[in-house]
Amino acid sequence: MADVGDNPMEFNIKEEMKKEHLITGGTFACSGCNPVLGIRLTLIALGKNTIMINSSGCMTLTATWPFTPYKIPWVHGAIENGGSVAAGILMGLKAQKKDKNTNIVVYAGDGATYDIGLQALSGMVYRKEKIIYVCYNNCQFANTGHQASSATEKYARTSTTPPPIGNPLPRKNMAKMMALNGADYCATACTAFPFDFIKKIRKAATMKGSSFIDLLAPCEPGWLVQPWETLKAGKLMVETGMWPLYEIENKKITINYKPKMLPVVKALQMQGRFKHLTEPQVTEIQLTVVKEWEMITKGRFWEAEEY
């Protein structure tokens, strides 16, 4: 059992929010940055007996010499090895009998998770290492200037998938892949639903093996939304059904939030990265969402392609 108390689901978030934050303000993050909010929520959920491993990306720049916002041990290795650096840390703690009551959490971007770091993540999950892996998913390689990753949605504009076509490929589904890879617990989450995310992190901390949480974290310059609208953008992604919130335990899926199923155009029109979409493309996205939502709610989750 990691350090989340005897009954991890009994957790007074309001009380916890009043405590000292384990990541301070004043980082280099953009205004309206959701990934950095994700770190705050992760640390609210896990508390101070936590070691955080970062894979190269935007969040690497949160600590720049000689400043650090972290009040927990934090390390950055390289981009593709979040899973294996974490495995090494667990190995080192085990060897010194210090692994009890310590949460090990990887906080890596979608490029570092879906693409270049997939091997290290898969190895970590395969070996059932007791590590929580959080992917802060802003649907692109944001730190290098918003290039497409395999988490980028179909037709989205990135600097390597410019309009008029945008990204020709649909995204991978990492939570599903990791569930089949052998993770004890997999979930999707969104920064716009912080309580849901905190609950999932705390649940993950109780697992014996690996857990994977795919956290949709809107990015102001990447999604081309206003800094004050990033949370709204995330909320609309969930409410339109484009980012369903669910968890998978022993291949059993639980849908944690029933979206209002607003028309997808509501989410798409506020994001500059979808501005170039034609009407047939919007319709295609809408039809896919409706079809896949139906599949996951009617027991055909493993057949759905994107969700």
Partner 1 sequence: MIEIIDGNASAAWGARRAKAQCVPCFPITPTTEIIETIAAWKAKGEFQGEFVQLESEHSAASAAFGASITGARVFTATSSQGLLLMHELLPIISGCRTPMVLTTVSRCLSAPIGLWPDHNDTLAMRDAGWIMLICETNQEVLDSVIMGYKISENKKILLPVIVNMDGFVHSYTRTEVDIPEQKMIDNFLPHPELEIKLDVKKPMTLGIPAMGLDYMKYRAQLHRAMLDSFEVVETVQKEWAKLTKRKYDFVEEYKLKGAKAAIVMIGANTTIAKAAVDMMRKKGKKVGLLRIRLFRPFPEKQIKKALEKLKDIAVVDQNICPGMGGILYPEIKMALSGCKAKITNYIHGLGGNFVAEQDYIDILNDVVKNKKQERKWQM
The residue type at 38: G
Per-residue contact string for residues 90-129; x = within reach of partner 1 by CB under 8 A: xxxxxxx-x---x----------------xx-xx--xx--
Show the site string, 266-305: x = touches partner 1 by CB under 8 A, - = not: ----------------------------------------
Q: Is 184 left (phi over 0), alpha (psi -120 to 50) or beta?
A: alpha
Task: Return the number of the residue (130 or 157) whose C-beta is nearest partner 1.
Answer: 130
Q: What ranges in 127-241 are assigned the alpha helix state H? A: 174-181, 194-205, 220-223, 230-239
- Residue 144: CB minimum distance to partner 1, A: 14
Residues in contact with partner 1, counted by CB under 8 A, come to a total of 46
Q: Which of residues 8-67 bind partner 1 (CB under 8 A)?
A: 48-51, 53-54, 60-61, 63-66
In the complex, what is the shortest distance from the CB of residue 213 to partner 1, in angstroms, rounded to a whole number?
20
**Closest approach of Cβ 69 to partner 1, in Å?**
9
Q: Is 186 helix (H, G, I), strand (E, B) or coil?
A: strand
Q: H or E stretch including 17?
A: helix 13-18
Phi–psi pair at 41, nearest 5 degrees:
-65, -40
Which one among 4, 39, 86, 233 touches partner 1, defined by CB under 8 A? 86
Asked whether position 240 contacts partner 1 by CB under 8 A, the answer is no
Q: How far is the CB of 211 from partner 1 (least distance, A)?
A: 18
Residue closer to partner 1, measured from CB, 60 or 210: 60
Closest by CA to 132, choosing from 37, 214, 210, 185, is 210
Nearest approach, Cβ of residue 185 and partner 1 (Å):
21
- The H or E element that residue 268 is part of is helix 264-269
- How far is residue 234's CA from residue 199's CA, in Å, rounded to a whole number? 18
CB 220 within 8 A of CB 29: no
Residue 160's CB: how many other CB atoms inside 10 A? 15
d(CA 201, CA 198): 5
What 3-state DSSP class applies to 118?
Answer: helix
Closest C-alpha among 53, 47, 55 to residue 13: 47
- Which segment (33-41, 88-96, 232-240, 286-294) binds partner 1 by CB under 8 A? 88-96
Identified binder of partner 1 from the candidate list 31, 68, 159, 283, rule CB under 8 A = 68
* Least Cβ distance, residue 215 to partner 1 (angstroms): 22
CB of 48 or CB of 291, closer to partner 1: 48
- How far, rounded to the nearest angstrom, does the alpha carbon of residue 250 sit from its chain's CA centroid? 20
Pick the binder of partner 1 from 34, 35, 58, 76 (CB under 8 A). Answer: 76
Cβ proximity to partner 1: between 83 and 241 the closer is 83
Binding site for partner 1 (CB under 8 A): 48-51, 53-54, 60-61, 63-66, 68, 70-78, 80-81, 83-96, 98, 102, 119-120, 122-123, 126-127
